[in-house]
């Protein structure tokens, strides 16, 4: 890459000009800002102590050295302490020739043998997947694909929260008010059916709280002492004691939910290599807790609950086992982490979980370290911001969440109505139109979610996401379809078959701009992997699509009279289409052949 050559020559320039060695860490190069002439900018300020000259004078001396010693440097200009370097067009043409037919362009290799384990989704079996889960699933799946693209082996895993007090609340509500109904008898998807009973429990429990408060009890105390909550706690104890009747109902209701989850996952294009269940990991967590008690890492309070003292680490005491012997989230997370280590010996454990759990994962790492697990150092919490609607936050127990299936239906209907308003796809058959609306709606949803930096809280607007203009998935999909239309017309007219590159062909600035963006793609793929940020891919794809549309608007392709220019532009358009498809695939977005 030109950047590697440039860094090496800059070190040589400093040695030759100022008779000093310079650390590579002091060499700063970056993409030249669009308002200035140039391709690569060198920041000169770190060299001034060695040159003992002004920024402009130092930049000029280095610029002259680079022209004399790097064949592809054409010229330079100086803006204060910034040296802007212009690369010769032959470099861009050689890059194009070497890579435009490279099927692995943008892929990397890695020497790391151990897999990266990435956990995402992690739903509860007391409610259907909602908008928050959509961000989690899309982010986790995309990060997995991006890391896989960097050459590492990846294991995509899901931990289903299938046990605990919240599950017992849904079970208890069904036992009291379900009257033997089922998803089949009510014609509801299994996860939605069970979710309604979780909401019903909350409604009935609030009524009991209000009654206790009306009788003079403090609200906080009342919230802990309702008959319903105590019955749910008893149900959890019966579950942990493997009560046959409770376990049978638990298994039946969970299976209803799993069937519903599978439908939603399939529609979203989400998959896993392995699915874990907390009911299978909490016992191992309990064993680790008992081991910690024996070796003095953990301690038991008078009520029988077990804790870890983290005050020396600047935190507080953390509960790892309740007084009644039932486990908490931390218990099963300890067991799950151990299970994954035993199974995969991963180089990294990545947990894709919302930022409200930052403290939880800090504690998880610390407790595992105290338990002597050296591999805890490789745990990384990919913390992301919440996703909200223009109306504000969602609450599962109150039934105010945006259901994932309902949202995807809404996105489909929006894509359909928007397309019909614009008069697009009138020549499509019903089957073709349905397939395209599905592609556009999921593309809009995924792109709108993933283009935002994972760390940021975001507001999702369905109507805005489906726009065919601007920074949206459908805009990029439309650009890809436009290029494929150009390529079909070229093929029909038997043109664009010249694979030889004329290095003397004069290039338009828009052609160079496109090649510069294409040249950046491998570094974007690696940077996205290192930062675990699909947003870098999304915004790169948008920049490339936007640049192509400007190129298409300003420059003739198929009607160009010069055959060499025409054939080069056809090949350039094809390279753009391949790169757009590659980038969007890592976001889980399909690209249409025609629109």
pLDDT tens for residues 347-371? 999 999 999 999 999 999 999 999 9
Tell me which of 3.30.70.260, 1.10.10.10, 1.10.8.60, 1.10.730.10 is the CATH number of domain 404-585: 1.10.730.10
Do 120-388 and 2-87 fall under one CATH topology? no
For residues 18-43, give the mean pLDDT: 92
Specify whether the CB–CB gap between 197 and 188 falls below 8 A.
no
| pLDDT at position 399 | 47
Q: Output the DSSP codes for 323-386.
A: TTS-B-HHHHHHHHHHHHHHHH--SEEEEEEEGGGHHHHHHHHHHHHHTT-GGGGGEEEEEE--
Residues contacting 163, CB < 8 A, separation 6+: 239, 250, 277, 278, 279, 282
Residue-wise pLDDT for 576-589, tens only, equals 999 999 999 999 99
For residues 201 and 168, give the distance between their C-alpha atoms in angstroms, rounded to a whole number.
Answer: 10
Euclidean distance between CA atoms 415 and 472, whole angstroms: 12
Query: What element of type H or E holds 90?
Result: helix 89-99
Q: Name the band, by pLDDT with cuts 50, 70 and 90, for residue 419.
A: confident
What does the pLDDT look like over 285-320, one tens digit per residue? 999 999 999 999 999 999 999 999 999 999 999 999
How much is the pLDDT for 400?
Answer: 53
pLDDT, tens only, 563-574? 999 999 999 999
The set of residues, in sequence order, having a beta carbon less than 8 Å from that of 274 and lying 6+ positions away, is 155, 156, 157, 158
Q: What mean pLDDT is predicted for residues 130-134?
A: 91
- Give the distance from CA 266 to its chain's centroid: 18
State the Cα–Cα distance between residues 471 and 356, nearest whole angstrom: 29
2-87 CATH, one of 3.60.20.10, 3.40.1410.10, 3.30.1360.70, 1.20.120.160: 3.30.1360.70
Of 3.40.50.300, 3.40.50.620, 3.30.200.20, 3.40.50.1820, the CATH number of 120-388 is 3.40.50.620
Phi (first) and psi of residue 29, to 5 degrees: -125, 145
Helices vs strands, H then E, count in the chain: 21, 14
For the chain, give every domain's residue range.
2-87, 120-388, 404-585
Residue 551 has pLDDT above 60, yes or no: yes
By mean pLDDT, which of 33-37, 223-227, 467-471 is the weakest? 467-471
pLDDT of residue 391: 65
Mapped onto helix, strand or coil, the DSSP state of residue 74 is strand
Q: Contact 444/473 with Cβ under 8 angstroms?
A: yes
Are 337 and 345 in contact by the 8 Å Cβ rule? The answer is no
Relative orientation angle of helices 404-422 and 244-268, to the nearest 10 degrees = 20
pLDDT at position 397 is 44
Contact 521, 581 (CB under 8 A): no
Predicted local distance difference test score (pLDDT) of residue 505: 87
């Amino acid at each position: 890459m030109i950047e590697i050559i440039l860094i090496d020559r800059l070190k040589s320039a400093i040695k030759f000009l100022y008779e000093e060695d310079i650390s590579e860490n002091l060499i700063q190069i970056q993409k030249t800002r669009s308002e200035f002439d140039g391709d690569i900018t060198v920041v000169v300020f770190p060299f001034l102590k060695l040159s003992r000259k002004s920024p402009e004078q130092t930049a000029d001396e280095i610029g002259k050295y680079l022209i004399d010693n790097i064949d592809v440097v054409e010229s330079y200009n100086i803006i204060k302490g910034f040296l802007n370097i212009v690369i010769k067009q032959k470099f861009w043409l050689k890059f194009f020739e070497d890579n435009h037919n490279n099927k692995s362009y943008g892929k990397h290799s890695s020497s790391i043998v151990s897999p990266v384990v990435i956990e995402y989704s992690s739903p509860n079996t007391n409610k259907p997947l909602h908008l928050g889960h959509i961000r989690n699933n899309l982010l986790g799946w995309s990060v997995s694909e991006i890391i896989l693209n960097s050459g590492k082996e990846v294991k995509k895993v899901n931990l289903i929260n299938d046990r605990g007090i919240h599950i017992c609340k849904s079970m208890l509500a069904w036992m009291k008010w379900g009257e033997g109904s089922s998803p089949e008898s009510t014609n509801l998807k299994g996860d939605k059916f069970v979710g309604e009973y979780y909401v019903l429990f909350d409604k009935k429990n609030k009524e009991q709280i209000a009654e206790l408060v009306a009788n003079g009890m403090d609200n906080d105390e009342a919230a802990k002492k309702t008959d319903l909550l105590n019955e749910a706690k008893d149900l959890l104890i019966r579950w942990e004691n493997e009560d046959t009747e409770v376990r049978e109902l638990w298994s039946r209701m969970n299976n209803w939910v799993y069937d519903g989850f599978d439908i939603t996952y399939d529609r979203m294009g989400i998959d896993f290599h392995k699915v874990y269940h907390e009911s299978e990991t909490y016992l191992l967590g309990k064993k680790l807790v008992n081991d910690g008690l024996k070796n003095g890492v953990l301690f038991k309070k008078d009520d029988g609950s077990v804790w870890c003292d983290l005050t020396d680490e600047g935190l507080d005491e953390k509960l790892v086992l309740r007084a009644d012997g039932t486990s908490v989230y931390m218990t099963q997370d300890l067991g799950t982490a151990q299970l994954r280590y035993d199974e995969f010996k991963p180089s990294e454990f990545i947990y894709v979980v919302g930022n409200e759990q930052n403290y939880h994962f800090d504690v998880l790492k610390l407790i595992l370290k105290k338990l002597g697990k050296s591999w805890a150092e490789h745990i990384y919490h990919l913390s992301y911001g919440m996703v909200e609607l223009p109306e504000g936050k969602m609450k599962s127990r109150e039934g105010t969440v945006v259901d994932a299936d309902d949202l995807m239906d809404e996105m489909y209907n929006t894509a359909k109505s928007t397309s019909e308003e614009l008069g697009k796809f009138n020549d499509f058959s019903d089957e073709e139109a349905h397939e395209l609306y599905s592609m556009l709606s999921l593309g809009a949803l995924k792109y709108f979610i993933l283009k935002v930096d994972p760390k940021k809280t975001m507001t999702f607007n369905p109507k805005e996401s489906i726009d065919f203009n601007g920074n949206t998935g459908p805009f990029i999909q439309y650009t890809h379809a436009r290029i494929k239309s150009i390529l079909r017309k070229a093929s029909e007219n038997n043109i664009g078959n010249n694979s030889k590159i004329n290095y003397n062909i004069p290039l338009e600035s828009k052609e160079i701009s496109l090649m510069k963006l294409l040249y950046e793609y491998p570094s974007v793929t690696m940077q996205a992997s290192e930062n675990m940020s699909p947003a870098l891919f999304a915004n790169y794809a948008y920049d490339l699509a936007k640049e192509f549309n400007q190129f298409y608007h300003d420059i003739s392709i198929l009607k160009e009279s010069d055959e060499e220019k025409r054939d080069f532009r056809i090949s350039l358009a094809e390279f753009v289409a391949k790169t757009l498809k590659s980038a969007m695939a890592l976001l889980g977005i399909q690209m249409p052949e025609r629109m």
